[in-house]
Chains A and B, each alone.
Chain A
Amino acid sequence: METHDHAARDRLRLRQRRQDAVFAVLMMVFAVVMAFVVIPAGVRVPASVAHLPLSPRFFPYVLVGMVFVFAAAIAVMSVIGPPPLPPDAEAAALRPRWPLRLAALLAVLAGWVVLPERVGMAPLAVVATIALLLVGGERRIWMLGAVGVVVPVLVYLLFTEVFHVPMPAGPLLERR
């Protein structure tokens, strides 16, 4: 039994080491891309800059260099460093049908980004909340109505009427 535990822990540690190595390599690639592509393309340097520290590119270059160095340190440590603490297996356990749940959440988030101007904030809030309640496993109609309809409408009214935030009203609520 103890040997089995030991082997499981070693496997988790090995996975953690691999994860760290992959992360380090990705960060080094990110730093290189930033240094050679993104910073030259994304930061314009005026001709009048006389000293290097006054250049708008100076600080981003320093930071990207730091990211590279720290990532390299992680890469080295993942090979020769002490074994990492094994992650908590119980906490890392995934929910059943998690890809479906994640996809539903991503769809709701995408809706929040794209649809408010077209649909209006209040109707979208109602639909999004009901959708997430259903994804979470809620099936009681009265609960879906109370939490999925009443609360979003109240929150909408709080922001528009009390805090005077101009929310997109959408075709349903637009005052004619």
Chain B
Amino acid sequence: MWSDIAAGLTLFWGLDNVLAISGGVLLGVVVGAIPGLTATMAVALALPLTFAMAPVTAILLLVGVYKGGVFGGSITAILLRAPGTPAAAATLLDGYPLAQQGKAGKAMKMALYASCIADFLSNIALIFFAGMIAGLALAFGPPEFFWLICFSLTVVIAIAGSSLAKGLISGALGLLVSTVGLDLVQGSQRFTFDNFNLMGGVGYIPLLIGLFALPEVIDFYVRRGAPFAVRAADASRVTMAEFKRSLVSIVRGSFIGVIIGTIPGAGATAAAFLSYGEAKRSSRHPETFGKGEIEGVAAAESGNNGVAGATMIPLLSLGIPGDVVTAVILGAFMLHGLAPGPMMFQQNLDIIYALFAGIMLSSVVLFVAGSLAIRYVIRIVDIPRHILMPLVLLFCVFGTFAVQAQMFDVLVMVVFGALGYLMLRINMSAAPFLMGFILGPLFEDNLRRTFLIAQDMSVFFRSPICWIFIVLTGVSLFIGIRREMRTLRARRTLARLEGS
């Protein structure tokens, strides 16, 4: 074993690998920060660059791009309310209000610290518990997956905003929009009305940008609103007390990210919202969430980045890509004549250890690259809003178009922008809509697949994993409803006091 580790470190130790990781992380941060350009796109863009590279260097470059892309998405989410990646949508819930209060630097630094810690813990899980966690992931069949998604959907209660009923409607509408397109079980069309562009469903990037970034642009031209208090020399730091307060949420979020990341198909967005919801649920001051709570930023980012290392677990140990990004990375493995999976741990152990060394280094590089990015990118908020907003719209349109190179996506973005603005005006949170939209296909597919396999309801209650998630779902619903009842009671008391 020690000889394999030594061989792996020898294979890793070289300037080319360090440069590949550093360049990859920087590229990822830049691309991830542009609304519409996701980490997946960044990795796909970098793939042709790796053709002439050694296998380890190539994979490390792509892993660096992936990790940088995941963090980069949070930058514009905090500064402009335009999430660079879907998973960063949870970060903007508290990150953007913090920026509005003149604390963009604090929000971005906390996002970076949480990202790096979660990334590091996720890497540790990858290196030491890959086999065990991969085994757990394999125990997930459609019924277990169905209950996991049910539990994730209860997060809607935590992110519902000022009105639970409006938040639930928002979530249900998101689920409804996710049904547009070709039905995967029966192969019939739903709500496409013979429009070819809708066959594959509504694209999540146009929807994401439309729901979050565009309303901010519209709002600027319509409402007066509070001006930003941010300055370029924004010295707002994360205090030790704030860091300590957020540490539990960071560790919990990392853990959630690792578990979700290991399960193929679950995705970083679900992990980010789940982590955010848990942080709010367990907080002593849940009412501060959504209004600029630093712990909310930490929770969302740790959930988001905890996924990054963990998605490599099923890829390396089983040869199964956990998400689209790792599917592209799997392609890079194959391009270089490597086949991830159990056999790789026997035949190419030195490469595995070299990758582990590089992945661990990527957490440090992420910290350095992230700090640099924060120092310079934060100057964006110094730009007067009347100049910034046309440019935000420009990036929104170009980024949306870039996904599939079709103008229909821009139309979708505009439609959801109008919907997002209406939601903003009637105090209806858009986050549950996104959550419902992302989890909808997983929820329905697993419900129907389970029924297709068993045609018997008892299959939903057979395994212990199902029961764990049933109990968690029940507890989560109970806590959410109890909190809503308390809020209603408090409002009634307040009104009575004001009346007297």
Contacts and interface: CB of A to CB of B under 8 A. Distances in A.
Interface of A: 6, 9, 19-20, 23, 27, 34, 38, 42-46, 48-49, 51, 53-56, 59-60, 63-64, 66-67, 70-71, 73-74, 77, 81-85, 87, 90-95, 98, 101-102, 104-105, 108-109, 112-113, 116-117, 121, 125, 128-129, 132-133, 135-138, 143, 147-148, 151-152, 155-156, 159, 163-168
Contacts of A152: 394
4 closest A-B pairs by beta carbon, nearest first, are A136-B386, A132-B390, A82-B492, A82-B491
B188 interface: yes
A84 B487 CA distance: 11
- Which DSSP category, helix, strand, loop or mixed, fits chain A's interface? helix
A46 B218 contact: no
B185 interface: yes
A67 B173 contact: yes
Given A60-B176, A128-B390, A54 B491 contact: no
B402 A70 contact: no
Contacts of B411: 113
B45 A155 contact: no
Interface of B: 37, 41, 45, 162-163, 165-166, 168-169, 172-173, 175-176, 179, 183, 185-193, 217-218, 220-226, 385-387, 389-391, 393-395, 397-398, 401-402, 405, 407, 410-411, 414, 417, 426-427, 444, 447-448, 451-452, 455, 488-489, 491-492, 495, 498
Nearest to B412: A113
B289 to A, nearest CB: 16
A20 B165 CA distance: 11
A95 B221 contact: yes
A53 B401 contact: no
Most chain B Cβ neighbours within 10 Å, of A49, A53, A121, A166 = A53
A3 to B, nearest CB: 12
Given A70-B169, A117-B407, A101 B221 contact: yes
A23 B179 CA distance: 23
A133 B411 CA distance: 22
B19 to A, nearest CB: 19
B390 A83 contact: no
B221 A77 contact: no
Given A54-B448, A70-B168, A70-B172, 19 more contacts: A23-B426, A34-B176, A42-B192, A42-B193, A43-B189, A53-B448, A54-B185, A63-B172, A64-B176, A71-B165, A85-B162, A105-B218, A105-B221, A113-B414, A121-B401, A136-B221, A136-B385, A138-B386, A155-B398
